[in-house]
Amino acid sequence: MLLAVGPNAQAADAPVTLKDVFKDHFPIGTAVNRSMMMGGAGFRRSAELNASDVATLKQHFNQIVAENDMKWQLIHPREGQDGYDFAPADALVNFAASNRMEVAGHTLVWHSQTPNWVFAGTNPPPPSATNPPPAFAAGNTNAPGTNRFGRGGFGGGFGRYTGPRASRDELLARMSNHIHTVAGRYKGKVKVWDVVNEALADGQGTNVLRTSLWSEIIGPDFVAKAFQYAHAADPQAILRYNDYGLENPAKRKRLIALIKELQAQKIPVHAIGSQAHVNVATTFETMDQSLTEMATLGLPIHITELDVNSAQGGQRGFGANVADNAATTQGGLVSDADKKLADAYAGIFRAFVKHRDSVKLVTLWGVNDAVSWRAQGKPLLFDGENRPKAAFDAVIRATVGEPSKSIR
């Protein structure tokens, strides 16, 4: 079959789909939100548009990851074995099975979106003193299994817990319990886990790891411990270390130091997750260099959260801190944004194809611009009505005719 590319792709005999075009290279995945998995209207999305998002998902992608619903704060908002809200994650795993999609789990241990109780000492003072409960967004029903964020939603996510702290042993026990329960529940269903997310420091300092409650309470070996627990919970799962900004040489150096250290200790880390929240200034050369260096670690590379910011405010770096998001989507789009986006995507995918022996998975961070966390930066391949953009055609063109591989 000849693949039709270009603006008329949709009108061709057989529609060109991402998953078909890349089937001999790597699965093509996307982050999905709760309404896509559970139906109905969603955050900033009518039921009709949500249905159209699901149709695009089924047509073009063969791998999914929960954009939010497997984060600690959503899946395990309350302490104890009855403190889990599994319904949205269960829906995702069932959706994937019904639609023959692979699943990545995001994420087991992260400094962000972790409820305060996780870090609290056994006998902390009453909540009002130092450990305020999260403030819920207006309209949040707090009901598990609804289409909204459940109890323990995002209200308290960014404030750092300042109350009395758990001991190292207490926190390790909570981490172990969480990982065994969550990874254990989805054993054989979630193929790959982001075991530790964003543990690396930013900036130009000499620290490898960022300072977080995990690193302060447990110490730097919290990373190794998390991988050991995850391996015990699901020995078949591919265990990934996941971070952003790895296109930046200073951050990449830290990644290489961390992974080498884990490898020296025989810690079961099986893949590098490179988020790739990049911008339209990103070239083939930048991505080529980044992949070449990461590949020296000898592990598969998964591109885990790809999007390409077209907003003026986002052209300076490759950060993905949620707290900085507003600034990175300000200032309107760059001039000639559609073309610049297409050119950037073309270069980025050419690099993925060049490095297909290392790149085993490519996941975009959202189906279309409207549901993106950086909606104002119009960073994805489909517009808010699920029409393929020039960047979609560019991606297809970057790859037609290349030979193949699979995820591990």
CB of 111 to ligand G3I, least distance (A): 11
How far is CA 233 from each of CA 54, 92, 191, 199, 271, rounded to the nearest angstrom? 31, 20, 13, 21, 17
CB of 123 to ligand G3I, least distance (A): 30
Three-state DSSP class for residue 48? helix
CB 319 within 8 A of CB 368: no
CB of 68 to ligand G3I, least distance (A): 5
Pairing of strands 301-309, 63-66: unpaired
Q: Which residue is nearest to ligand G3I (CB)?
A: 373
- By annotation, the residues acting in catalysis are 198, 305
Which of the ranges 79-87, 135-143, 174-182, 227-235 carries the binding residues for ligand G3I, by CB under 6 A? 135-143
CB of 213 to ligand G3I, least distance (A): 16
Tally of CB atoms within 10 A around 361: 27
Told to check if 315 binds ligand G3I by CB under 6 A, we report no
Told to check if 67 binds ligand G3I by CB under 6 A, we report yes
How far is CA 89 from each of CA 34, 71, 124, 153, 162, rounded to the nearest angstrom? 9, 10, 31, 15, 30
- Element at 105 (helix H, strand E): strand 102-110
CB of 307 to ligand G3I, least distance (A): 9
Told to check if 141 binds ligand G3I by CB under 6 A, we report no
Q: Which of 345, 348, 340 is nearest to 287 (CA)?
A: 348
Which of the ranges 53-61, 116-124, 148-156, 391-399 carries the binding residues for ligand G3I, by CB under 6 A? 148-156
Told to check if 85 binds ligand G3I by CB under 6 A, we report no
Told to check if 307 binds ligand G3I by CB under 6 A, we report no
Q: Which of 172, 302, 317 is nearest to 242 (CA)?
A: 302
CB of 159 to ligand G3I, least distance (A): 12
Told to check if 137 binds ligand G3I by CB under 6 A, we report yes
CB 277 within 8 A of CB 317: no
Q: Which amino acid is at 308?
A: V
CB closer to ligand G3I out of 26 and 72: 72
CB of 277 to ligand G3I, least distance (A): 6
Which of the ranges 90-98, 146-154, 329-337, 345-353 carries the binding residues for ligand G3I, by CB under 6 A? 146-154
Among 320, 334, 341, 398, binds ligand G3I (CB under 6 A): 320
Residues touching ligand G3I, count (CB under 6 A): 17
E-state strands within 170-263: 192-197, 238-243
Among 148, 240, 254, 270, binds ligand G3I (CB under 6 A): 148
For 200-232, letters b (16+ CB in 10 Å) and e give bbbeeeeebbbebbbbebbeeebbbbbbbbbbe
For residue 4, give every residue at least 6 positions away whose Cβ sits within 8 Å of its Cβ, in sequence order, or none: 11, 12, 13, 14, 16
Distance between CA 303 and CA 342 in Å, rounded?
Answer: 18
Among 69, 202, 247, 305, binds ligand G3I (CB under 6 A): 305
The footprint of ligand G3I on residues 1-60 (CB under 6 A) is 43
Among 50, 52, 63, 68, binds ligand G3I (CB under 6 A): 68
Contact residues toward ligand G3I (CB under 6 A) are 43, 67-68, 71, 113, 137, 139-140, 148-149, 154, 244, 275, 305, 320, 322, 373
